Amino acid sequence: MKIILLGASGLIGSKLLKQMLIDPEITRIVLFVRKSLAIQHEKIEQHIIYFDAMNDFAQYFNGDALVCALGTTRSKTPNQIDYRKIDLGYTMEAANLAKTKGVKQIHLISSMGAYPKSKVFYSALKGEIENLIIGLKFDKTIIYRPSILIGERSESRPMEKLSQKLNWLYDPLLFGRLKKYRSIKAELVATKIISEIKKKNTGVHILDSEEIKQD
């Protein structure tokens, strides 16, 4: 299989890349990055691009599946217009290019609480992106809504690190309908994405943290 991956330097994207490199069924991984990744492998086809000129790389958006793990943070991108451009704009342009090139499935990393009518900017934006991706009508659309992610990032996120340290305390208190808010390891999200890519199912599927943890 040939997989197109956006966001390979992020927490989930980096875990996903490592797992795909050792998966015998995945033979080609197309990466679009701002800066070259310090990793070389015969499976990797790496393109260093300026995302505002993504259309210049349209010819490379062909494969079996597109995984969108792009994202930024409020600390890195405090302006909401710029934040929206990265999270929504770049994701949608990549999705449209892949759709045009005949890619059959798309896998979107969203977030717990995504809802287009939310009063919280982040949640509303994620919900809007989900709806737009669904509207493209890929043969298969899988949306992942993880809660607090556990794993080491290359960048510093103090509040997230604090949440990770406290997860052992609050996770056991979340049960029943609240169980989906328990923290989840980034490796598990990556494993689930690869599993879903290989399935022969079609349609739209939205998976929260507890569903992501299921085999």
CB contact burial 35-48 (16+ within 10 A = b; e otherwise): eeeeeeeebbebee
50 is catalytic: no
Closest Cα partner for 112 from 202, 179, 157? 179
- In this structure, which amino acid lies at residue 193? I
Q: Cβ of 159: how many Cβ atoms within 10 Å? A: 9
Is 126 annotated as catalytic? yes
Residue range 2-213 in CATH 3.40.50.720? yes
Regarding pTM above 0.85, the answer is: yes
Element (H, E) at 145: strand 140-145
Structure tokens at 81: 């217009």
Confidence category of residue 79, pLDDT binned at 50, 70, 90: confident
Q: Which of 104, 122, 179, 185 is catalytic?
A: 122
Measured CA distances, 75 to 79, 169, 180 (Å): 9, 27, 27
pLDDT one-digit tens code per residue, 138-195? 999 999 999 988 876 555 555 555 555 666 556 665 667 777 777 899 999 999 999 9
Whose CA is closest to 5, among 94, 89, 131, 132?
94
Question: Can you give the pLDDT at residue 195?
Answer: 97
Q: Is residue 44 a contact partner of residue 29, using CB atoms and an 8 Å limit?
A: yes
Catalytic residue among 15, 83, 90, 126, which? 126
| Burial tier of 130 (Cβ tally within 10 Å: 0-12, 13-18, 19+) | buried
